[in-house]
Structure 1
């Protein structure tokens, strides 16, 4: 039997959605099939996203590249979770009628445009996404207990 499948989306797939993907995978020990994609993916993950996950959770995203929504077309998901308002409008329909959720989370990369603001913004974003994932866990994997 196929497990629960979750897709996280944001515009650039360089910060919010890869953070959510990594945290859900971490929290479920890989027992939930999770991926992320963006409508206009960047060339690489944001360095502050990579650094914050490594420092706070020991999660290594080295080698991970942003991907376009087209790369997951045709796949079946139980949940499609948009993390920004722009991508919410363009996420394609997926077969099987997945449950759609929207978490409007500010882009931490825009905070980084001012001197020294980037890393704290990413720490706040990671904490917010992790809190939302902890609330989602009982729905996705009822046997999971957040630590």
Structure 2
């Protein structure tokens, strides 16, 4: 088994819910084989309070999480990414920076729980659904034999993990 640590950047527009969840989930489930990051094309500058509450309830370390721009990861001093995954349809359609190292890219669309209106329970259920969907997708991603398949096959498999293909 390879000792390589894979860097993964999750991108969303606001970097306040889905991408933050994905970062925390992969950092926990990846068990040191992955280092996850998150960023936004137009970051809100803060994490949605329910995101933090939900992650803490599920025993995720939230101490280093913060909302930031994807430009942080486009410069020469940034860690080189192996994978860049958009988790919202808006970010998937935007022109991204040129990423050093030609990372494998994919789009995993998830509904935005931060846009759900209604009672506290309705909002909580939206975050619960997003958390479960992201967790499931990451578990499948972690089962891919990353060190045993060629780049083109890996690119295809990462893209196939999107349950809601974009038009």
Q: Which TM-score band applies after superposition, normalised by the shorter structure?
A: 0.7 to 0.9
Matches within 5 A, 1:1-147: 3-55=5-57, 57-62=58-63, 64-74=65-75, 75=78, 76-88=80-92, 89-111=94-116, 113-116=117-120, 117-139=122-144
Number of residue-to-residue matches in the alignment = 140
Note the alpha carbon deviations across 1:20-64, whole angstroms, 9 max, x for none.
000000001233121110011112111111111111x21132463
Larger CA Rg, structure 1 vs 2: 2
Gaps of 5+ in 1: 143-147
Contact 1:44–1:65 (CA under 8 A) maintained in structure 2: yes
Coordinate RMSD, CA, aligned:
1.8
Note the alpha carbon deviations across 1:49-101, whole angstroms, 9 max, x for none.
1111111x211324632010111113421110000111112322212211111
Gaps of 5+ in 2: 148-167
Higher normalized contact order (CA 8 Å, seq sep 6+, divided by chain length): 1
Closer, same or farther: CA 140–45 of 1 in aligned 2, 3 Å:
farther
Contact 2:74–2:100 (CA under 8 A) maintained in structure 1: no
Measured in 1, the distance between the counterparts of 2:64 and 2:73 equals 19
Closer, same or farther: CA 68–42 of 1 in aligned 2, 3 Å:
same
After TM superposition, what 4+ stretches of structure 1 lie above 4 angstroms from structure 2? none
